[in-house]
Structure 1
């Protein structure tokens, strides 16, 4: 009996030792939940309940990050009203603060970093556009001591939400002390890739020493051919993409953001081109799956090249062809055939035999037999048949 009790006591002791680990599990689960962060940019009072009332329990000084309290009511997709309150975690426990102009939705970090301003930028007393000092920093190398990244607060569903996002940098000035600059144009944010081709400018453009057109007249570049060495594309907001090219000019390297049409990777040609297979042609440099316009094999005169597109003189006038795709769309070795081809529910068809672009997926065809009119065997030994369907001609691999 005593031995049994000792064994039972040992079991209970082990269970008691395991109990603290067990009660911590909910905390660990909470830690995995996404946390909403706010930045206090002005002295903010703390209250015991929503709406305030009574004396404040303390205050939070700028600049600090605070987190939304666990279980606190908050929905970023609801429009925030001017008199909203936030329940946040503090050293006094979970407390309420006013969600006003002293609170930004984002993160604050003290970090020393060197940047290069490529445009004049305004100075502010704090990260608030209403605190403009009337002073500015000219383009130069600067050292920032803190940064504050923030996002939309009230109109998250609006197309103009990007205007309510950005980054503030704190800089140490020699004549006014620490000040703030807002989303400045920085050379470090220019992620240009190296290129090596000619551009054909269809109209007059303006060239700048840096990829920034917010100030200065720049230099006029007449229509013609220039050589590009870098390309940078960025999207400041949805559905808008801007492109800068770094080009070589007689006066040195300059940046151009074209206002007119630009032909990339341009070459003027005056040479014969031999088409060894039927080749699709287009009126513009715009690819499609239209399979009704073909140039017969033969010799043609090429007049210009833009990227993968070559313009040819044809009996029907100037036409564009993609020579790189031609042998994939109509490979050499295609022969006529009258063979019957079985289609099943597993059959997949393709626009062309060697481009990989699918026309119809599995389940489209019911079991049937159709007659092919062309046949091609790939270098790997796969046999392709060209068939006619109600949606046009398609290729099927057997």
Structure 2
């Protein structure tokens, strides 16, 4: 057998990128609308139709030009679901009618929704007696939450998030006044209480709608989160987006991403065999060390990836018990010819490679094999440099 060198190994096992559907030549791929249940500004619970609107029993009926009927202009149309794009372009709504759930797809200029009851001003903001910002402002408001009493018609519809719309607010000393705000800044803070794990690159902002620049020739303009858990205390909601309010050592800050949900609580984790300990939950900092069989104290976990944040005698890190050396291997005494190139792994899991090492056109004598939960076969190779695993590739071996 060719000599196998044991090197540091890398892993990437947290991914937030969704799979994209590919087009298939010769046929039409039908995609259902990406519907979301009503959630305040993002998807209003009711809408006003400003013109007669066709409705459909199924979105695909629109392609055939077969509406089930039409609705007259009216207020209070109950929404069962909608698309996040409704304020920017023609989008689908699922609504409740006296004929059961139906689908409509109006342009944003043919619907209207009320503004939020309150909005948050993140900057010093001039207020006006009328919808005319060429006049002198009545006053300048410091950052604060204010009560909304109205807005210009279709306040949510603009050519982009920076285009301004008028919102009427109430003040205690001047009564109702108007503010002229970018649509992306017309939003409110929804109180929440949960924890999220953040990877590298989440800038801590004073304004949730800020979109750069984040650095200059002098360096970064903001501090950022990296491989840490944060307490999320609010969500800034607008028709365009949701951003997240965090409690930090330097006060309240905002980030653009929700992070990965964390569950906090003490728990004892039992490792049944050698298990990799990761410095960061996403594996970006590599494997800190390999832990032998033992019990550990965990203080938080990422349930979606079965990851536990644990204390060890050599420092804290993240473990996934499912990535441990399997204990139910089958002993064998045979030779396997590996044709072509085969990647070497420290543990039998995609991503846990031996620093990019491979074997090429070799005959190996595995001491055991293991079938993973997905049905893949892995061979265990014992070498003077340590253990290595090779995944069975039917067309590359015999």
Decide: shared fold, TM above 0.5: no
TM-score, reference length from structure 1 = 0.40
TM-score, reference length from structure 2 = 0.40
Higher relative contact order (CA 8 A, sep 6+): 2
Larger helix share, 1 or 2: 1
